[in-house]
Amino acid sequence: MEISELKALIVRSLDSSSDPGEASRLLEEAGVSYSFGAGFQDKVLERIASTGNAIVREMESVRNLNNIFYRIALSGVAAIVILLISIFMMQGSLSVDAFLGLGSSYDESLLYLLTGN
Amino acid sequence: MIRESYRQKSDTELVKSSLEGDKQAFSEIVKRYQGMVARTVKAMLGDSVFSEDIGQDVFIKLYYSLSGFRGEAKLSTYIQKIAVNLTLNEIKRRKRFFSTFSQKGNNEMYEFEIADHDTEEKKDARELVGKALKKLDPKFRVIVVMRMLQGYSTKETAEILDIPIGTVLSRLSRAQEQMRIILEKM
């Protein structure tokens, strides 16, 4: 196809009343075609496999973090329970005073301790 | 033999198989639509290795969004939408890059790669179309590519670009005018 004919075809193809399918076919015949290089499919699948592995690795690390969090949380809960039991055994109750270690102190002795009289 | 069986499957069947983890089915989708994606990406960005990367990104994005494909539109339209969005994003990214690092500002880095096995006439035709597309504003270029190279109707173009038909028609008219001026100077 001559360049002048090609130019006319390009302009004509952009006319809203023209048949777009025919123009694209004629342009392809004239050599205006595009394609990806050889092995394009394989490259896409390779990249999907590698991104898939990255996602799996990310999910595993999140799962590991979750496991670590649960272990720390369980240890914390166990420590709190042991603390409560020991406070109950030493103070005989779980009141605020017992938590502060004041459960078995009399007011007078506390006053004595604070004032020295 | 196996390849042949995939070739005969419909898009819907291939999507279903791909979602079940069948890589061969997805490979067939890539094979079926890589030409269409190449036309959009390479005509919009130029014919370079970077365009091939964007082409790969289109199919990777498709792979991870297949579960969201409900089959209301054709698979080709769905893929074309992804290709157009990624390409326009890449043009914006390149413009930002060049406006930051280059004095020329709006240089888009549009490249041509003319295959050696093409005849002189075909090389000239590709060069002419490539140079003309490069000079068009991206919002007109995408309309021209959809119409002139992909052969989409006004309605299909509007659906892919997610804009009203009236907007497509007005942009098409302005693109035609710009293209006429560009081609006269070449």
| Chain B environment of A25 (Cβ under 8 Å) | 151
For the entire predicted model, the pTM comes to 0.74
Which residue did the predictor score with more confidence, B104 or B46? B46
User: Is the pLDDT score of A115 beyond 60?
Assistant: yes
CATH code for residues B112-186: 1.10.10.10
Give the pLDDT mean for A98-111.
69
| Whether residue A108 has pLDDT greater than 80 | no
d(CA A29, CA B121): 11
Mean pLDDT to the nearest integer, B41-52: 87
Do the chains contact at A30 and B125, CB–CB below 8 Å?
yes
Is the model more confident about B100 or about B5?
B5
Nearest-5° angle of CA B11, CA B17, CA B19?
105
As a whole number of angstroms, the longest Cα–Cα distance in chain A is 117
Report pLDDT digits (tens) over B108-161.
556 655 555 667 788 888 889 989 998 999 999 999 999 999 999 999 999 999
SS3 at position A91: helix
**Domain map of chain B by residue range?**
1-108, 112-186
Q: Where are the domains of chain A?
A: 1-34, 35-115
B22-50: average pLDDT? 91
Please give the pLDDT value at position B172. 94
* pLDDT higher than 70, residue B2: no
Contact B126 A32 (CB under 8 A): yes
pLDDT at B136: 92
Confidence of residue A117 (pLDDT cuts 50, 70, 90): low
The CATH number that domain B1-108 falls under is 1.10.1740.10
In Å, how far is B62's CA from the nearest CA of chain A? 11
- State the average pLDDT over residues A44-70: 83
Average pLDDT taken over every residue of chain B: 87
Query: Does A14 sit within 8 Å of B147, measured CB to CB?
Result: yes
Contacts of B63 in chain A (CB under 8 A): 48
Of A25, A40, A44, the CB nearest to B60: A44
- Chain B residues close to A27, C-beta within 8 Å: 125, 129, 148-149
Given pLDDT bands bounded at 50, 70 and 90, which one contains residue A85?
very high
